[in-house]
Amino acid sequence: MLVPLRKILKQSQRGKYALGAFNTHNLEITKGIIQGAVDAHAPIIIQVTESTINYAGLQAITQIIKVIANDSLTKVPIALHLDHGKKFSTVVACIKAGFSSVMIDASALSWKENVKLTKQVVKYAHQRNVLVQAELGHIGKEGVDTRQVILRPEKYLTNPDDAVEFVKLTHIDTLAVAIGNVHGIYKLRHGVPKIHLNRLAKIAQKVKIPFVLHGASGISDKEIKQAIKLGVGIINIDSELRMTFAEAIRKILRVRKQLVDPRAILLSGERAVRERVMRKIKLFGSFNKAK
């Protein structure tokens, strides 16, 4: 069932577990994610980026998610979130489409511009009872600066004092932290960078809103568990789902050379996503936490 993020976030904060925030791109990945959550009887966040909106169309992808989430067999709470929104107009469109949470990612802009745009989004979203996530520091993106993030993490990390000031000025609900985490497949193939848990601990001493861990694909189970203890309340997974989806499809096409039915081909990817989501949910502590 589709529910406001506010509701499941409050419960997860009280229960000291993290919510998985899984990126979807199409019908099959959406089905896989939601089936994984149903198998685990867990609350989850399902999220789309601006590139997915450009790919699928906002109404199409939103309807796919809503219809599957609201199916009578889907007896778990699911919150719909905009991931890495860059434009105010996207935020407005997503809120009008029924999202209960949005991220405004102005982390590539100057401090002043980040604060200004984030404040504008918070004002609009809070009037409509929608939560806002923003990013401070810089979480790298594969193919753009992943290598630099791995090699020179310090300048990208979230500064604890800046975080205090940022939260005070903007009134955001959740904060995406840069603690050495990076986005993308690159790290799954070439090694995951060090996660600076001591930096997270310093931020946590001063900032009392839930943190969001982006780029969590490939981060070790041990680091994930420690990060949750230090205040990470939402964990974003995209690349591992893409990888497992693509590998399953590659395999079935290799093994069954005559196969042309798109439903059979894509179902193999959907099943792989379903399993991976279930595994992540166990790690995040949200297994069996659906209320």
Site string for ligand G3H, 12-41 (x = CB under 6 A): -----------x------------------
Q: Give the CB-side neighbour count of residue 143, counting CA atoms within 13 A.
A: 2
Residue 214 binds Zn ion, judged by CB under 5 A: yes
| Helix, strand, coil shares, percent, the chain, to 5 | 55, 15, 30
101, 81 Cβ separation under 8 angstroms: yes
Min dist CB 204 to ligand G3H, Å, is 23
Give me the 149-178 binding string for ligand G3H, x by CB under 6 A, dash otherwise: ------------------------------
Q: Is 104 helix (H, G, I), strand (E, B) or coil?
A: strand
The verdict on 137 binding ligand 13P (CB under 6 A) reads no
Number of H helices, E strands in the chain: 13, 8
Using the rule CB under 6 A, give the single segment among 4-12, 38-46, 156-164, 209-217 that binds ligand 13P: 209-217
Q: Does 125 bind ligand 13P (CB under 6 A)?
A: no
Residue 287 one-letter amino acid: F
> In degrees, to the nearest 5, what angle opens at C-alpha 187 toward C-alphas 55 and 146?
75
Q: Would you call 161 a catalytic residue per the annotation?
A: no
Query: Per CB under 6 A, which of residues 12..31 are in contact with ligand 13P?
Result: 23
Query: Residue 21 pairs with which residues in a beta bridge?
Result: 45, 236
User: Which residues 211-270 are close enough to bind ligand G3H by CB under 6 A?
Assistant: 238
In the bound state with ligand 13P, the residue whose beta carbon lies nearer, of 1 and 276, is 276
d(Cα 87, Cα 90) in Å, to the nearest integer?
Answer: 5
Alpha-carbon distance of 74 to 2, in angstroms, equals 9
Site for Zn ion in 219-258 (CB under 5 A): 236
Q: Which of 100, 238, 269, 286 binds ligand 13P (CB under 6 A)?
A: 238
Q: Which of residues 175-194 bind ligand G3H (CB under 6 A)?
A: 183
3-class DSSP state for residue 211? strand
Nearer to ligand G3H, 23 or 114 (CB): 23
Please check whether residue 47 is in contact with residue 85, taking contact to mean a CB–CB distance below 8 angstroms: no
Q: Looking at residue 158, what DSSP letter applies?
A: P
Residue nearest to Zn ion (CB): 214
Q: How far apart are CB 41 and ligand G3H at their closest, in Å?
A: 26
Q: Which does 51 bind (CB under 5 to 8 A by kind): ligand G3H, ligand 13P, Zn ion, none?
A: ligand G3H
The active-site residue out of 39, 83, 238, 261 is 83
- Decide if residue 236 touches ligand 13P (CB under 6 A): yes
Give the C-alpha distances (Å, rounded to integers) separating 35 from 46, 131, 271.
Answer: 12, 25, 9
Size of the site for ligand G3H (CB under 6 A): 7
In 25-110, alpha helices (H): 27-40, 50-56, 58-69, 88-97
Is 224 among the residues that bind ligand 13P (CB under 6 A)? Answer: no
Active site positions, annotated: 83
Q: Binding residues for ligand 13P, per CB under 6 A?
A: 23, 83-84, 183-184, 214-217, 236-240
